[in-house]
Each structure stands twice: as structure tokens, then as C-alpha cells.
Amino acid sequence: MCVPGTLETVRERSEREGPPRVSRRVALGAGAGAMTAAALPAAASADGRGRFRRREKLVDLSHVFRHDFPTFPRAPASSVSTAVTIENQGFYGQVWTIWEHICTHMDVPAHFVADGRSSPELSLDELVAPVVVVDISERVAGHPDTVVTPDDLARFERRHGRIPRDAVVAMYSGWETRADSVAAYQNMDSGGSMRFPGFGNDAAEWLIERRRIRGIGVDTMSLDHGSSTTFDVHLTVLRADCYGVENLRNLKQLPPRGATILLGLIPWNEGSGGPCRAFASV
């Protein structure tokens, strides 16, 4: 878009032709294309005319990305500005300055491990996985920095069956409802410590050693509980060459097991993780 004359050409054509018009045929074709793309990660079937019909639904697990999403108090600031506008240049675009670990995002091994794999080194197969959801929301009201324990995992398996190998194990706490408020999401106590739930290190070790999981996920800003100062869960998970996904939402809409998670991580060069579009096929 920086070729000489581009701005003038776009503006002149926009003024000459006015708003774009979409024919019924193009609209139907675009809808069919979108349906086809959406059907790829889930079971689907085609009718005699090549149209795909979904047999499953998709659940969006990502928050809307915004530069002021709650994060750790001393994390690098993110910002956004409008670089060009349709009124002035004929097209619209923004410039973002981001901290890799803001909003719904992934932590890859390189985030905590000096020789750990970076974002481009994760295979596509690793970004599609069975997902199970461990619900600890009942404990959160009275104990906001409660953690997922091995007992929670044993109880889950008694009710729902064995956690599959290569799964992503997600904690549902209901914390996502606080995400519109930095103060509520951080939940600082009088001593300056954040109070929110996460995984316990014993549970992380149990999942890695006994179930050979691919990663863990949380609906809070950290794999570790809020008052942690040692980040043991981060170290345990990332040193095991697994990954973590933070700031998930809508986990309550998933069954305890049987869904598939898809993680659209951008392969940032030498990335320590990064924002991703997370969704599930149910």
C-alpha cells in the first residue's frame, strides 16, 4: 500500500464508485466460503452441490483484543493509534504496540526457558487438541486465589473419565466476568498482592507426568494463582516443553470433555508466545 500513487488511486476510485455493492450471488458465495472455513476443524458433510453443513458448533474462547486489557501491574504498556483513515487516505489501518502477553494469549517454553521453543517452533498439530474443563468456580467466591489440585483432577476423572493424552486442561473459575475492570481482575489485597485463582504446581506436575498433556489454560491472567511470587506453574509447564493459555473466556459453554480447542497463535519471530484467537469445536 506504499507504492507511489496508491493513496490517490484509492481515493479517486472510492469517490467515483461510492460504497461497495455486493450482489446476491457474491454474498451467497462468500457465505458458503465462510461456512466451509468454519467447518474445517469440526465434523462436516457436503451435499450434492458442494455446500458444507456443520454438525457441531464453535465457541469463541478469546476476549476482544484491546490495549488496556488488565495485566500485571509492571507489565510493558500496550498502545494503539489510527494511522490512516478512509476519509483522509482512502483506506483504514491502525498501529499497535503490544506486550506479547496481553489479553487472550499463549505462553510458549521460550517465555521462561532460555533454550525453550519460540512461537514459530510450535507445530500446527500442537495448536489443535482435545480440551477438558475443570470447574473450580464454587470455591472462588470464598477463596479467590484457590488453585486446581490433584484432588480436583481425580474428582474430574471419576465423573467424566480419564483426561486424554495430548489434551489442554483448562481451569474454569468464572473470573472472566471481571475482565472489564482492571481493579476487579487484578483483585489487589491491602498488602498489594493480587488474588485470583490458578493451577497448583502439584496439579501441573500430575498432569504432565501422568497424563502427558499438551498444555493448560486459565480464565485469569496467569497460570499461577495471583499471589504467587515464584511462578512455579509457569516453570513446571514450560520446562516440560508444554504451553499455557491465559485470559480465556466462555469455558462454561464447553462440556467437561469431548471438545477440541484450536489456538491461532501467530508465529512471531523468536516469540515468547503471543496473542491468539482461541476457539473450540463442540
Residues in the chain with pLDDT values less than 50: 1-4, 7, 10, 14, 22-43, 45
pLDDT at residue number 3: 46
The rounded distance, in Å, linking the Cα atoms of 97 and 204 is: 32
The rounded distance, in Å, linking the Cα atoms of 244 and 223 is: 7
11-52 confidence digits (pLDDT tens): 555 456 555 554 444 444 444 444 434 444 444 545 556 655
Instruction: Supply the pTM of this predicted model.
Output: 0.84
Q: Which domains does the chain have, with CATH numbers?
A: 6-56 (no CATH), 105-281 (3.50.30.50)
pLDDT at residue number 54: 61
Cβ neighbours of 263 (radius 10 Å): 27
The rounded distance, in Å, linking the Cα atoms of 134 and 137 is: 9
Q: How far, rounded to the nearest angstrom, does the alpha carbon of residue 131 sit from its chain's CA centroid?
A: 13
Q: What are phi and psi of 186, to 5 degrees?
A: -70, -40
pLDDT at residue number 4: 45
pLDDT at residue number 8: 57
> Which of these, 46, 25, 24, lies nearest to 35 by C-alpha position?
46
pLDDT at residue number 19: 56
